Amino acid sequence: MAKVTTTRATGAGSKKSSAAVKSAPQGTKSKSGTGGKGAAVAAKPAAKSAAPAKVVVPAKGAPSAARSTVAAKPVAGARPVAVAKPVVVAKPVTAAKPAVAAKPSAPAKVASAAKPAAATKPAVPSKAAAVAEPKPIAVPEPPKAAEITTLNAAMRYLAARPDFERARSVKYGEQTFKLDRMRKLLAALGNPHEKVKTVHVAGTNGKGSTVTMVSSMLRAAGYATGVYTSPHLIDIRERIQIDGHLIAKTEFVETVREVAKAAEKIGEQPTFFEIMTAAGFCHFAEKAVDIAVIEVGLGGRLDSTNVITPLVSIITGIDLDHTKLLGATKQLIAREKAGIFKKGVPALFFEQDPEVDAVMREVAAEVGADLRIVNKDIEFSSRFCVTPDLGPHTRVCMYTKTSRLEHVPVPMPGEHQAANCGLALAAIDVLKGFGFEVPDDKLTAGLAATKVPGRMELVSSRPRILCDGAHNPSAMNALMRCVGAHVPYDSMVCIFGCCADKDIGEMIDKVNLGADKVIFTRAATTPRAASPEDLQKLFQERSGKMSQIARSVPEAIEMAIRAVSREDLICVTGSFYVVGEALKYLGERK
């Protein structure tokens, strides 16, 4: 007896049932059922047949209401054997119409009345079953040091290194952040960091601004000045600059290759940041800069940059950030930042909370650093004013044994920048003691020329788009206050995206102070980015203002542009990754 597979579809899937049919004379032709290709099989007739006899064949397992009525054509003049009942073509009634057409089974060959029925061929597998499991995509091996001959090869080499800037979670400690490994790497390179005079800058907020102001004043005075900062916004070469110029692509490739060779020589696997830091030191030594201003990446005590003995150490504002790594209080964070203090090296800090000031003095005393607190040990004052040429801005005064600076305009908007400017001016005053000559006119000219990408940067006038990399509650609060004081607008649309390890609730509360509408998005360049859905949910719990979600920064920008009028403002903020992607897209959009 031959078995023929029929298909019945129900709801979300299909179920198969088999109906045993007895062989028939050759010659019955297959017919397709409703909604599918031939569901039953028959053979060609050998001769003309008599009128078809109605036969009812219920499908196995089917309800009585779903029985199928079919017709069979017997061979003329031949008496069918008892087991050789005619094969029938099952045509489902309307009640049994399949919801989804199923792929039919392969036709079964049926023998003549005198021969036993042949076995039914196995059903043809579905397309889904026939598709082989996808093979994993082969990830190319990172190039060896000798193979780093192009910018692409250098980037692939760096991409294969551990990158704590973008890691979702990092275990902070001497086992992860190994200064001994950094020292070994630099020793294999000839200790380039010892051939360059440096200024070292750490802190929670204001590092980038302070670095830029110090370097700008030194450049104005005629000194070849290197700058090492992180993270970059668009181009990785932004991290290593001399006199405002990015390291050339060919020089970047050559320097990374030399660092990679040194790593292979000592048998170590340095991190992304260690390689970049070593590359910066090598470039500055190769170009014989007069001085280099070095920004700490994370913390201070265990940072890869903390192998230098600078002419002066600077600590900018301390606040709660990276609390899972550096500590849950400002005092603990301050101690990590003060880890850059060195014996006999002048150290500068701007007056802050008494508890934080006390930690700074304690660490300085422990290591033997000469700490001076601006606005306590160094006389300092600031005031907000408005003039026809500069508009609303802040001016500062500072008095030391060697300098008397009065009513110096702070080059960047915001009251918080007065403290950064005070630290920069104090650092120049210290450098004068090491033979650096920076006349007051050069100093003020250098300050006036200071430009910091991604910090209160107005990148478009129509529509007005402002970008700022505020990435913690303190910085976000300063941004909203600064925008309110310096940028007139009717309505603000804020494009916001931040990293998931931040104090998101506090940041959103600060955004709510200034924004009339918020578009939540995420940076594609970091896996640390928080989900826009989570951000919006938290915002809706805290605010009744309008909000939307954009899947990417470019989509958020286009959405905001459609929503604003001429006098409105679009503010892109939350992280340097979001700001970097915005700057890149807006540059391409022009």
Question: Mind listing the pLDDT tens digit of every residue in the chain (590 residues)?
Answer: 444 344 444 444 433 433 333 334 444 433 444 444 443 333 344 434 444 444 444 444 444 433 333 344 444 444 444 444 444 444 444 444 444 444 444 444 434 444 444 444 444 444 444 445 555 555 568 899 999 999 999 999 999 998 877 666 666 666 667 799 999 999 999 999 999 999 999 999 999 999 999 999 999 999 999 999 999 999 999 999 999 999 999 999 999 999 999 999 999 899 999 999 999 999 999 999 999 999 999 889 999 999 999 999 999 999 987 778 788 899 999 999 999 999 999 999 999 999 999 999 999 999 999 999 999 999 999 999 989 888 889 999 999 988 899 999 999 998 889 999 999 999 999 999 999 999 999 999 999 999 999 999 999 998 999 999 999 999 999 999 999 988 999 999 999 999 998 999 999 999 999 999 999 999 998 998 999 999 999 999 999 899 999 999 999 999 999 999 999 999 999 999 999 999 999 999 87
Give residue 136's pLDDT: 53
Q: Is residue 138 situated within a structural domain? A: no
Residue where a domain stops, chosen among 414, 448, 482? 448
- Is 442 found in the same domain as 462? no
- Is 498 found in the same domain as 434? no
What is the Cα–Cα distance from 575 to 510, expressed in whole angstroms? 14
- Is 385 found in the same domain as 501? no
Give residue 69's pLDDT: 39
> Which among 154, 176, 175, 166 is positioned nearest to 275, based on CA atoms?
154
CATH number of the structural domain spanning residue 472: 3.90.190.20
- Is 418 found in the same domain as 514? no
On whether the CB atoms of residues 468 and 417 are closer than 8 A, the answer is no
What is the Cα–Cα distance from 293 to 229, expressed in whole angstroms? 9
- Is 177 found in the same domain as 112? no
Report how many domains make up the chain.
3
Q: Is 191 left (phi over 0), alpha (psi -120 to 50) or beta?
A: left
> Who contacts 496 (Cβ-Cβ below 8 Å, separation ≥6)?
508, 511, 515, 518, 519, 520, 521, 535, 573, 574, 578
Q: How far is CA 403 from CA 438, 450, 459, in A?
A: 10, 21, 36
What is the Cα–Cα distance from 425 to 408, expressed in whole angstroms? 10
Of how many residues is the chain composed? 590
- Is 439 found in the same domain as 325? yes
- Taking the CA atoms of residue 252, residue 168, residue 334 and residue 282 in that order, the dihedral angle to the nearest 10 degrees is -10
On whether the CB atoms of residues 371 and 341 are closer than 8 A, the answer is yes
> Which among 58, 78, 62 is positioned nearest to 70, based on CA atoms?
58
- Is 464 found in the same domain as 440? no
Q: Is residue 55 situated within a structural domain? A: yes
Give residue 590's pLDDT: 74
Give residue 455's pLDDT: 92
In sign, the C-alpha dihedral spanning 230, 235, 241, 245 is negative
- What the block records as the tokens of 246 is 């990015």
Residue where a domain stops, chosen among 421, 448, 475? 448
Q: Is residue 133 situated within a structural domain? A: no
Secondary structure E strands in 85-224? 198-202
- Is 322 found in the same domain as 179? yes
Q: Is residue 517 situated within a structural domain? A: yes
Point out which residues pair with 45 in neighbouring strands. Answer: 27
**Unique residue bearing structure tokens 């001076």:** 372
Q: Is residue 88 situated within a structural domain? A: yes
Q: Is residue 415 situated within a structural domain? A: yes
- Is 308 found in the same domain as 411? yes
Give residue 392's pLDDT: 87
Give residue 297's pLDDT: 92
Helix (H, G, I), strand (E, B) or coil at 204: coil
Count CB neighbours of 140 within 10 A: 7
- Is 467 found in the same domain as 442? no
Q: Is residue 30 situated within a structural domain? A: yes
Residue where a domain stops, chosen among 92, 126, 160? 126
Q: Is residue 274 situated within a structural domain? A: yes
On whether the CB atoms of residues 337 and 314 are closer than 8 A, the answer is no
Helix (H, G, I), strand (E, B) or coil at 279: helix
Burial class (CB in 10 A: 0-12, 13-18, 19+), 415: middle
Q: Which pairing describes strands 391-399 and 404-409: parallel, antiparallel, or unpaired?
A: antiparallel
On whether the CB atoms of residues 577 and 454 are closer than 8 A, the answer is no
CATH number of the structural domain spanning residue 243: 3.40.1190.10
Count CB neighbours of 244 within 10 A: 13
- Is 570 found in the same domain as 510? yes
| pTM for this model (two decimals) | 0.75
On whether the CB atoms of residues 86 and 57 are closer than 8 A, the answer is no
Phi/psi at 199 (5° precision): -120, 130
Give residue 324's pLDDT: 80
- Is 272 found in the same domain as 401? yes
Calculate Rg over the CA atoms of the chain: 37
What is the Cα–Cα distance from 239 to 232, expressed in whole angstroms? 6
- What the block records as the tokens of 373 is 């607190």
- Domain of 495 in residue numbering reads as 457-589
